[in-house]
Chains A and B, each alone.
Chain A
Amino acid sequence: MTSSVATSEHETGSLRDRVMDLVRATEIDGRLLGMIVTLIGIEIGFGLYTGGSILSPVNLLTFATQAVQIAIIATGMVLVIVSRNIDLSVGSVLGVVAMTYAVLMHEVFPTTIGVDTPYGWLIALGAGLLIGIILGAIQGFLIAYMKIPSFVVTLGGLLAFRGLVFDISGGSTQAPDDTQFVVLGGGPLGSLGGTISWAFGAVIIVAIALYLYYNRRQRRRFGFPVRPMWAEVGIGVVGLLIVVGGVAISNAYHWPAGLIEQYAAQHGISPEGLVIEAGVPWPAVILLAVTLVMTFLATKRKFGRYVYAIGGNPEAAELGGINTRWTIMKIYILMGILCAISAAISSAQINGATNDLGNGYELLVISAAVIGGTSFAGGVGTIPGAVLGAIVIYALRYNLQYIGLPSNNQDIVIAVVLIAAVAFDTYSRRNAT
Chain B
Amino acid sequence: MSVQQQPEPRPPAAPPPGGAGAANVTPAAVAGGATAPLVEMRHISVAFGGVKAVDNVSIDVRPGEVVGLVGGNGAGKSTLMRSLSGAHKADSGEILIDGKPVTIANPRDAKNAGIETIYQTLALADNINAPANLFLGREILTGVGTLDDSAMEDATRKVMGRLNPNFKRFRSPVRNLSGGQRQSVAIARAVHFNAKVLIMDEPTAALGPAETEQVRELIRQLKSEGLGIFLVSHDIHDVIDLAERISVMYHGRLVGTVDKTDVTIDEVLGMIILGQPPDKLNREQIQSLR
Contacts and interface: CB of A to CB of B under 8 A. Distances in A.
B289 interface: no
A321 B137 contact: yes
A50 interface: no
Interface stretch (B12-20, B35-43, B103-111, B239-247): B103-111
B217 interface: no
A222 B3 CA distance: 12
Interface string B114-142: 00010101111111100011001111010
B107 A319 contact: yes
A316 interface: yes
Given A302-B147, A321-B137, A224 B132 contact: no
B146 A309 contact: no
A310 B108 CA distance: 16
B125 A316 contact: yes
Question: Chain A: interface secondary structure?
Answer: helix
Contact of A322 (B86, B127, B128, B136): B136
Contacts of B139: 302, 305
A218 B176 CA distance: 26
Interface in B216-237: none
For chain A, which range describes its interface: under 10, 10 to 19, 20 to 34, or 35 or more residues? 20 to 34
A308 interface: yes
Interface stretch (B23-31, B62-70, B148-156): B148-156
Contact of A320 (B123, B127, B145, B147): B123
A430 interface: no
Interface residues of B, number: 32
B153 A379 contact: no
B123 A315 contact: yes
Q: Which of A300, A313, A318 counts the most chain B CB atoms within 10 A?
A: A313
B79 interface: no
A312 B127 contact: yes
A222 B151 contact: yes
Interface string B150-178: 11011000000000000000000000100
Nearest to B109: A321
Contacts of A309: 125, 128, 132, 136
A309 B106 CA distance: 18
Contacts of A433: 176
Interface in B79-116: 85-87, 106-108, 111
Nearest to A82: B127
Given A319-B85, A319-B117, A320-B107, A313 B126 contact: yes
A219 interface: yes
A301 B146 contact: yes
A321 B111 contact: yes
A311 B132 CA distance: 14
Contacts of A296: 146
Contacts of A219: 150
Contacts of A302: 139, 141, 147
16 contacts: A300-B147, A302-B147, A305-B136, A305-B139, A308-B127, A311-B127, A312-B126, A313-B124, A315-B123, A317-B137, A318-B87, A319-B87, A319-B107, A319-B119, A321-B111, A379-B127
Q: Which 7 A-B pairs have the closest CB atoms?
A: A312-B125, A379-B127, A312-B127, A320-B137, A321-B108, A320-B136, A321-B137
Given A222-B151, A309-B136, A316-B122, 13 more contacts: A224-B153, A301-B145, A301-B146, A305-B128, A312-B127, A313-B123, A316-B123, A319-B107, A319-B123, A321-B86, A321-B107, A321-B111, A321-B138
